[in-house]
Every structure is written in structure tokens, then in C-alpha cells.
Amino acid sequence: MLPIDYLETSHDPLFVGASLVVAFFASYVTLELCGRVRSAAVKPRRWWLWWAGGSLTLGSGIWAMHFIGMLGFDVGLPLGYRAAPTLLSWIAAVTAAAIALGIASRDRLTGWGMLGGSGSMALAICATHYLGMAALDLAPGIVWRLPWVVASALIAWGASAASLVLQLLLRRTRGKLRILIQLPAAVVMGATIAGMHYSAMAAVQLPLGTICRSVDGLSGYTLAVTVFTVSLMILGGALMLSVRDALARDREAELSRSLKRANLELLEANVTLHRQAFEDPLTGLPNRALLSDRMQHAVARIERQGGAVSGLATERLAVLFVDLDGFKPINDSFGHEVGDDVLRQVAERLKGAVRDSDTLARLGGDEFVALIEAIDAESAAVVLGQRIIDALSRPIRVADLDVSLSCSIGVAVYPDHDHNGQRLLACADAAMYAAKRTGGGTCVTYDPSMSGDTTEQIQLQHALRHAVERGELMLYYQPKVTASDGRVHGFEALLRWQHPERGIISPAVFVPLAERFGIIGSIGNWVIDEACAQLARWDKQVMPCRVAINLSPHQLRSPDLPMRIRNALNRHNVLPAQLVCEITETAMMENIQSERNVLDQIAAMGVCLSIDDFGSGYSSLAHLRNIPARQLKVDRSFVTDLADNADAQAVLDAVMRLAHALHMEVVAEGVETEGQRSVLVRLGCDILQGYMISHPMPAEAVPQWLQALQAYSVAAAK
């Protein structure tokens, strides 16, 4: 057989270039669209739209690359392509793209999936090419070089597999890195697709004398340019859509991330707000708001059971009002940090004493409340009360100190003590005060007789707040005389409250109230000023003398007390030695360092400090040495027993000796009888005060009393 001569074949470089551009661009868009279809598949929104649109675009791109390449095929005779096979080749290209994108949308790709996927893609690509070639109606037909055909099929397979691997790789990368990988990947892919085409073209051999019967078919430079432009436009459009979608998705993702963050922050803020609203920050216990909410719920529950109406409630609600005894001096003397520590430890002990089902809350300061819901709530409350007292009886160790505390507890029960539960806490509070009055360290159950007390106290407290500005307070003066000669030594200023409806109220009633409700400071300041003003008036109109005022322990805790005293003395031009400050023995002994400073400053000014009600507390006589006081007032109880009680005499004798040894004057208060007076004089008492000498009187009555005293002395001397 004679060797056949073939026509020489070549490719127009312009067409080759154009086909390469399309191949690269199509590959780039393929990889991009794979990502799009993938994320649309993960979030199945318009997935099929991306898949279908993507397949059409890509298919057209791949087909255009082939078609442009074929249009640039030069065999030295005019060529034309039939429309039907050309259309079929386009369909094959779209199929290849559909397979590629279908695989790209999968979650995972197994080895077999990869093999099958890339195989079928390669088949579709080959179909694109060879169907496209079939559009050339040549006579005689093409003589195929088999190795090149095989090579082209293998390259198609390789290109398919590469595109799948690359898109898997790109799945995990985002941002700039993705573009960095996607670009070279597209170059590689484009090169393989073009490689497949041109190796397949290399398989074509046209015997000499071949004629093209489809020369009137699709051909020409204009068609190539059109296909090139249109394909680039379609691919560009797809790319733009894809990028827009990616950006929108990124924005959406960012938006949902920040929404999530905002939600989280909101949640945290809500938790914090809730905690602030319902939790006591110091102890972490429920606060007053949460307590009253729980009480309301408990009352409503019991009411539903018919408890309040029938009085036969299966359940009852007991409230334990716990108030620490002697906490304030600790707080004021050792500082708030120590005080806070003590409160935290107290809270822990209380937590240990209550049951899980009980509510334990802190109202503020040193006040705690426990709620018990039970059939036998009252007895359970009393038992719990004792447990709490026991729990607090052990000293609390804080900052190397052993702090001893006790507490007073009031118990009130719903519906027994309060029919609608609204005054339950006030009832428990009243019971707690009753416990305090008995000396503290005990648990008292509410009794209706305590109720009047509470209401009265609250009304009084309101009225007391305005007493100073309404001018309802006044000072009465009780003379103190020298025991030896009966001469006036000075006066003690004693507060009186001229209540508009109730008349004169004793300081024994309203001073503790003023201390409890924090009004004592302003009242005390008024006393200081008024006593100095009175001293100044007497200086001018009657005679220079001394006036003693009583200072409350609360006043001692105010560091500006010395300054207030100094200002009052200066304002009224009174000598410090004319003023005496009486401080009860208990207050004096409770005094720790900071208050000692206050006392030292007052003493340093030249004001006389006097220990009031001495003998009523538990202070040791040895302590007297450390106090800058110059006067000691023996408690009335000693004087009362004096005339017929040898023990009282012995005690008083010892006290006087000690006081004198410490260079202190001794004042006996509450001297009512001649018998008492004579014993006191015999024992060496310096100053006497009591009804026997005079009752406390208004300032205006003093000059007259002085005149009477003078007249009496003159008569006695005669």
C-alpha cells in the first residue's frame, strides 16, 4: 500500500491566543463558580439556579475555547462547520460543566467519586471536541492518529481530575489566599483544557485532495470574534455575579456574626443587670427586691390554698429578721473592709444554718432575712433562729482579730400575724427590736402588742426629721452642785422634744430612735450650738458657768465632731473649759482607735470629757487610765441603793478612790434624798446632781433658781 499524503495542517496564532484566553478565563470562572455552587449547596438557597446557570456559562466557555480553536484550524482549504453537530458539541460541553459543578456541590468526595466524576467529565469534554470535529463534513474523512486521540482523552481526564482537586483545595481557603491559589490553578487548568484540544487536533490527518462539503457552514473570522466576545462576556457576567454573591455572603456572615456577638453581649448585660437588680453585691445573697418578690409569691401560693381566708393553711410563711448586735462599732473602728469581711462570713454561716428550700437575703447593713415556707413554719423558724444564734456565737476571725458577735432575731408568720402579708417584714422587724430590747442574742416571735410600737416609731421618726427646723427641740438644764459647799458647779443640758400633739417627749424615747434612723447627727449638732449659745447668754446676763452636753456614740464616729465643737465655741465666744462632753461608759469603751482620736482632739482643745453612767457597762476600771476624761459620773443605780446597801457603798468607795487617784472628779447623778447626799459627801464625792438639788428646767427658769439657791445659802449661813 502506497503511503498516503496528507494536507499540511496549522493553527492561526491569533485564534490560538484567543482560545487560550477563553480557556484560562473559563477555568478561573469554573473554580469560582464551584465555590459558589458549594456554598449555595451548604445553604440551599437558589442552589439549582447557580448549578444550572453555572453549567450553561461554563459549558459555553469550554465550548467557545474549542470552537475558536477549530475556527483557527488551517488546512489550506476553506472549512465550514455544520450547525447540528456544533450544537451537540455545545450540549456536551454544558454536560461536562454540569458534572463538574454537581461534584463541586458535594459534601465529600471519595476516591471512586473522584474517579467517576473526572471520568465522566473527560468523556463529556471529549464529546465536545469530537462532536465539534464531526461538524466538519469532509470527503474523504479524517484519518485519526490514534496515540494523539488517546493522549487527548487522557489529558481531558487529567484536566477534569485537576479541576476537581483544585476546587476541593480552594474550598478551605478564603480571602486573598484564595485568589492567590485560584489564579495559577486557572492557568494550569486552562493549559490542560487547551492541551487536550490541541493534542486532539494533532490527531487529525486530512489526505491530500480532501474537500469540505460543509464549507457553507459556520466559519470565518467574524464568527470567531463574535464567539470570543460573547463567551468572554458571559463568563465575565458570571464572574461578576459570583463575586457579588460571595461579597453578599461575606457581609451576611459578618452580619450574622456581629448579630450573634450583639446577642451574646445583650445576654451578658441582661444577666449582669438581673444580678445587679436582685443580688446583694457583697454577699451574693438575694437582695430586698428579690426577697419581697419571693414573699409575694409565697403569700399568693398560700392564699390560693385558701390559707389566709380559712386560717387553716396547709403551708405558712415565716420571716426571720436577723440583726447583728454590736456590728456597727466593728465596722466603724476597724474600717469597712473588715466590716465587709465580717458580713461575708456571717452570710456564709447563715447559709450553713438555713435549709436549701429556705430563702436567705440581705436587706443591707447588718440586716438579714430568712424565709421559711412550711406547715410548721413558726416552730421551724424558732428552731432556725436558735441555729443562727449558735452559728454566730463562735468568734469570727478576720484580719488577725477574733470578732465576737451575737444577733437579735424577730419572727413573724403569715397568715397568723399579718392577714395579707404586706406588713410581715415590719412585724418581724418589730419582733427583732423587742429581742434587742431584751439585750440581744435572742429570738423573739411577733406579738400584736409590738405592732403599735412599730407604727408609733415610724410616725415619730418622720416627725423627728423636721423637729430641728420647726424649732420643736429645746434644752433643759439640770444643775450640778459642789458636794462640799452646795455651790453651783455647772449644768447638764438635757434634750426635750416639744411635740405639737404629744407634748414633751423624753430623750430616752426619741434619742435611740434618732440613732436608729440616722438623725442623731443633725440633732447633736443643734445641741452643741444651742448649749454654746446659752453659755454665752449666761456669761453676759447671769454668770459664767459650765454646761455639759451628752454626745451619742454615733456622733463620736463622725471625724468632724471636734471641728464642729471648735466652731461653735468660736462662734459664741465661749471658753473650751466651760464645755463638758458627757459620753456614756459603753460608748467610751466601744471606742477604738479612730474614735479615740476624736476624743483626744476634743480633750486637747481644753473641753472636759466626762464618763457618763459609769458602772452601767462592763468596762474594767483599768481602762479608765487610757481615756482622756477628767470627770466620772457614777450611774444612778449605785446612788439609788446607796443609803441602805453596804455593797453599793463599798463599790462606790472603790470607784471614787480610783477616780481620784487618776485625778478625775466624781459626779453622782440621781441624788434624790438627804441620806444619799450625806453618804456621798462622806465618801468624798465631788459633785452632786439629782432631783434633790433640782429637776431639769428650761433655761429661762435658771436665773430664778439661782436666786432662790443664793437666798437659801444666805439663810443657811445665818
345-353, 544-552, 586-594, 644-652 -> range binding ligand C2E (CB under 6 A): 544-552
C-alpha to C-alpha distance for 154 and 171, rounded to whole angstroms: 26
Q: Which does 680 bind (CB under 5 to 8 A by kind): Mg ion, ligand C2E, none?
A: none
Interaction between residue 527 and ligand C2E (CB under 6 A)? yes
Q: Is 663 helix (H, G, I), strand (E, B) or coil?
A: coil
* C-beta atoms surrounding 439 within 10 Å: 10
81-89, 209-217, 514-522, 582-590 -> range binding Mg ion (CB under 5 A): 582-590
Q: Which does 221 bind (CB under 5 to 8 A by kind): Mg ion, ligand C2E, none?
A: none
Q: Which residue's CB is nearer to ligand C2E, number 129 or number 677?
A: 677
Give the x-and-dash track for 613-652 against Mg ion (CB under 5 A).
x---------------------------------------
Number of residues that bind ligand C2E (CB under 6 A): 22
Residue 460 identity (one-letter amino acid): L
DSSP H or E segment with residue 548: strand 547-551
DSSP H or E segment with residue 491: strand 488-499
C-alpha to C-alpha distance for 112 and 110, rounded to whole angstroms: 5
Minimum CB–partner distance for residue 669 and ligand C2E (Å): 6
Sign of the C-alpha dihedral computed for residues 132, 138, 141 and 142 taken in this order? negative
Closest CA to 103 of 90, 114, 91, 119: 114
Q: Which does 585 bind (CB under 5 to 8 A by kind): ligand C2E, Mg ion, none?
A: none
Closest CA to 562 of 599, 532, 525, 593: 599
Q: Which residue's CB is nearer to ligand C2E, number 398 or number 493?
A: 493
Q: Which residue's CB is nearer to ligand C2E, number 103 or number 495?
A: 495
Closest CA to 572 of 522, 538, 600: 538
Give the x-and-dash track for 563-582 against ligand C2E (CB under 6 A).
-------------------x
* C-beta atoms surrounding 592 within 10 Å: 12
C-alpha to C-alpha distance for 530 and 547, rounded to whole angstroms: 11
Minimum CB–partner distance for residue 582 and Mg ion (Å): 4
| Residue 616 near residue 585 (C-beta atoms within 8 A) | yes
C-alpha to C-alpha distance for 59 and 57, rounded to whole angstroms: 5
Among left, alpha and beta (phi > 0; psi -120 to 50; other), residue 471 is left
Q: Which does 494 bind (CB under 5 to 8 A by kind): Mg ion, ligand C2E, none?
A: ligand C2E
Closest CA to 32 of 130, 152, 196, 179: 179
Minimum CB–partner distance for residue 492 and ligand C2E (Å): 6
Interaction between residue 378 and Mg ion (CB under 5 A)? no
Minimum CB–partner distance for residue 588 and Mg ion (Å): 12
Minimum CB–partner distance for residue 511 and Mg ion (Å): 11
Among positions 653-672, residues that touch Mg ion (CB under 5 A) are 669
Q: Which does 670 bind (CB under 5 to 8 A by kind): ligand C2E, Mg ion, none?
A: ligand C2E
Closest CA to 124 of 103, 95, 100, 85: 95
Tell me if the bond preceding 140 is cis, omega within 30° of 0.
Answer: yes
C-alpha to C-alpha distance for 464 and 457, rounded to whole angstroms: 10
| Residue 343 near residue 283 (C-beta atoms within 8 A) | yes
| Residue 216 near residue 136 (C-beta atoms within 8 A) | no
315-323, 453-461, 478-486, 605-613 -> range binding Mg ion (CB under 5 A): 605-613
Q: Which residue's CB is nearer to ligand C2E, number 138 or number 523?
A: 523
192-200, 270-278, 446-454, 548-556 -> range binding ligand C2E (CB under 6 A): 548-556
Strands (E), 355-452: 359-364, 367-374, 396-398, 401-403, 406-414, 443-445
DSSP summary character for residue 6: B
Among positions 637-696, residues that touch ligand C2E (CB under 6 A) are 669-672, 690-691, 696
128-136, 344-352, 555-563, 609-617 -> range binding Mg ion (CB under 5 A): 609-617
C-alpha to C-alpha distance for 324 and 358, rounded to whole angstroms: 20
Minimum CB–partner distance for residue 574 and ligand C2E (Å): 17
Q: Which does 588 bind (CB under 5 to 8 A by kind): Mg ion, ligand C2E, none?
A: none
Among left, alpha and beta (phi > 0; psi -120 to 50; other), residue 11 is beta
Please work out, in degrees rounded to the nearest 5, the angle formed at the alpha carbon of residue 534 by the alpha carbons of 531 and 536.
115
For ligand C2E, the binding residue among 495, 565, 603, 629 (CB under 6 A) is: 495
Give the x-and-dash track for 462-481 against ligand C2E (CB under 6 A).
----------------x---
Give the x-and-dash track for 319-338 against ligand C2E (CB under 6 A).
--------------------
Residue 177 identity (one-letter amino acid): L
Minimum CB–partner distance for residue 547 and Mg ion (Å): 12
Q: Max CA-CA distance within the chain?
A: 182
Residue 170 identity (one-letter amino acid): L
Interaction between residue 585 and Mg ion (CB under 5 A)? no
For ligand C2E, the binding residue among 612, 652, 655, 686 (CB under 6 A) is: 612
Interaction between residue 612 and Mg ion (CB under 5 A)? yes
Minimum CB–partner distance for residue 516 and Mg ion (Å): 20
Interaction between residue 416 and ligand C2E (CB under 6 A)? no
Q: Which does 495 bind (CB under 5 to 8 A by kind): ligand C2E, Mg ion, none?
A: ligand C2E
Closest CA to 136 of 214, 223, 220: 214
Q: Which residue's CB is nearer to ligand C2E, number 58 or number 495?
A: 495
Minimum CB–partner distance for residue 497 and ligand C2E (Å): 10
| Residue 640 near residue 660 (C-beta atoms within 8 A) | no
Minimum CB–partner distance for residue 320 and Mg ion (Å): 35
Minimum CB–partner distance for residue 666 and ligand C2E (Å): 15
Residue nearest to ligand C2E as judged by C-beta position: 690
Q: If you count DSSP H runs as helices and E runs as strands, how many of each does the chain have, helices first?
A: 24, 23
C-alpha to C-alpha distance for 621 and 611, rounded to whole angstroms: 12
Q: Which does 330 bind (CB under 5 to 8 A by kind): ligand C2E, Mg ion, none?
A: none
Exposed, middle or buried by CB within 10 Å (0-12, 13-18, 19+), for 345? middle
Exposed, middle or buried by CB within 10 Å (0-12, 13-18, 19+), for 499? middle
Q: Which residue's CB is nearer to Mg ion, number 32 or number 613?
A: 613
Instruction: Using the CB atoms, write b or e for 28-44: b if 16+ within 10 Å.
Output: bbbbbbbbbbbbbbeee
Among positions 522-561, residues that touch Mg ion (CB under 5 A) are 550
110-118, 230-238, 547-555, 585-593 -> range binding ligand C2E (CB under 6 A): 547-555
For Mg ion, the binding residue among 416, 582, 590, 686 (CB under 5 A) is: 582
Give the x-and-dash track for 496-515 against ligand C2E (CB under 6 A).
----------xxx--x----
For ligand C2E, the binding residue among 613, 627, 664, 677 (CB under 6 A) is: 613
Write out the residues near Mg ion by the rule CB under 5 A: 550, 582, 612-613, 669
Write out the residues near ligand C2E by the rule CB under 6 A: 478, 494-495, 506-508, 511, 527, 549-552, 582, 612-613, 669-672, 690-691, 696
